[in-house]
């Protein structure tokens, strides 16, 4: 969207704000500015709109300009200027750009040619304070003083502040507030002063260094409505926050319950396994006891049989010894 327009400075006046304060303003006749030509990247290398301002009588226009503005069907103009845009397809030849592209409270940059003040001295041109007006100063009160050394560097440096031409140059004033806009009269009222003389041509565009336009304070009723709306939004936000907290608490409890169940599940399995082992052990207990008793009895019987066997063998050995002794006695007697 185009946020720039050409205007003519009409003069300065004052307006009264809603609080009754005096606001000094500059009155500018801005637009309407018909579109004369569309320039595109394919044909010209960039996108722009050529607009006109201040209509010119047909009998004062030469043939080349007449042919140039013929397509727009809006005639010729004293001022032709290009406005850069992102896309030109949304605009048509002959379409007007009016002052209603700006609203009260917007910040704009105004560019124009400052008043020419001719050849001026250093006190007016650069703000020098002049020489001391006391004893010893003669014909040197408004002079600029030395402009450089003689031996070294033996020259005057570029950019030295010296007398010269003042004014009559392109000047841009930034962040000027729009106080009032009258689309029916093509007038815009800007707070403060802008460069140029009366009937001078200026360019008004959206401020480049202002992040957002500053709007005028709303009336009291709108203030109350806005306050009520803010309170309603605040209450709604509080309710939503409480609901979110409750929901989060419920979710936390559910997660804790799931974790607790997950932790108890292995314990229950271990307990069930222990119960099964205990039941199985209880079932096998009688058999185990019976086996232990039988083993004990066998262990007790085994030593007794061994003792009897040893006694028997000892008795047989004694009997054999007696028989041998008897046989030897018989042999000695014979």
On the question of pLDDT at 156 being above 60, the answer is yes
Q: Is residue 45 part of a domain?
A: yes
Q: How many CB atoms lie within 10 A of CB 65?
A: 14
Q: Is residue 90 part of a domain?
A: yes
Burial of 51 (0-12, 13-18, 19+ CB in 10 A): buried
- The Cα 330–Cα 334 span in angstroms is 6
Q: Among 170-179, 270-279, 296-305, whose mean pLDDT is lowest?
A: 296-305
Cα separation, 189 vs 7, whole angstroms: 12
Residue 262 lies inside a defined structural domain of this protein: no
Q: What percent of the chain has pLDDT over 90?
A: 46
pLDDT for position 38: 92
DSSP class of 114: P
- 168-185 confidence digits (pLDDT tens): 999 999 999 999 999 999
Is 84 among the domain residues? yes
Say yes or no to pLDDT of 163 above 90: yes
What is the C-alpha to C-alpha distance for residues 128 and 145, in angstroms, rounded to an integer? 10
Cross-strand bridge partners of residue 286 = none
Alpha helices in 126-219 (DSSP H): none
- The CATH number that applies at residue 112 is 2.40.30.10
* pLDDT for the residue numbered 220: 62
Domain-embedded: residue 303: no
Residue 230 lies in a domain: no
Check residue 8 and give its pLDDT. 95
The domain containing residue 78 runs over which residues? 4-128+167-216
| Number of domains composing the chain | 1
Per-residue pLDDT reduced to its tens digit, 205-264: 999 987 654 555 556 666 677 778 888 888 888 888 888 888 888 888 888 887 777 776
Is 82 inside a domain boundary?
Answer: yes
Whether 237 maps to a domain, the answer reads no
Whole-number pLDDT of residue 261:
74
Residue 26 banded pLDDT, cuts 50, 70, 90: very high
Q: What is the pLDDT of residue 134?
A: 82
């Amino acid at each position: 969207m185009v946020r720039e327009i050409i205007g003519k400075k009409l003069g300065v006046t004052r307006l009264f704000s809603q609080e009754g304060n005096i606001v000094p303003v500059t009155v500018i006749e801005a637009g309407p500015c018909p579109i004369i030509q569309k320039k595109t990247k394919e044909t010209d290398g960039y996108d722009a709109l050529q607009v006109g301002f201040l209509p010119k009588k047909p009998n004062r226009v030469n043939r080349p300009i007449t042919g140039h503005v013929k397509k727009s069907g809006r005639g010729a103009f004293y001022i032709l200027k290009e406005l850069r845009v992102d896309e030109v397809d949304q605009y048509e030849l002959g379409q007007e750009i009016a002052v209603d592209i700006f609203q009260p409270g917007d910040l704009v940059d105004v560019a124009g040619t400052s008043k020419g003040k001719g050849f001026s001295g250093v006190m007016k041109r650069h703000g020098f304070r002049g020489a001391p007006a006391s004893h010893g100063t003669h014909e040197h009160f408004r002079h600029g003083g030395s402009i450089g050394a003689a031996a070294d560097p033996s020259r005057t440096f570029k950019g030295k502040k010296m007398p010269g031409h003042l004014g009559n140059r392109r000047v841009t004033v930034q962040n000027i507030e729009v106080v009032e806009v009258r689309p029916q009269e093509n007038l815009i009222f800007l707070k403060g002063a802008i460069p140029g003389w009366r009937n001078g041509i200026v360019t008004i565009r959206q401020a480049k260094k202002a992040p957002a336009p500053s709007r005028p304070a709303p009336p009291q009723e709108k203030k109350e409505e806005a306050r009520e709306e803010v309170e309603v939004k605040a209450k709604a936000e509080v309710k939503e926050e409480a609901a979110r907290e409750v929901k989060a608490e419920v979710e936390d409890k559910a997660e804790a319950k799931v974790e607790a169940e997950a932790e108890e599940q292995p314990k229950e399995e271990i307990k069930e396994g222990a119960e099964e082992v205990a039941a199985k052990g209880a079932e096998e207990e009688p058999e185990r006891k019976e086996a232990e008793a039988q083993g004990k009895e066998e262990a007790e019987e085994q030593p007794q049989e061994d003792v009897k066997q040893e006694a028997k063998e000892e008795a047989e050995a004694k009997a054999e010894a007696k028989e041998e002794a008897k046989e030897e006695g018989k042999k000695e007697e014979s």
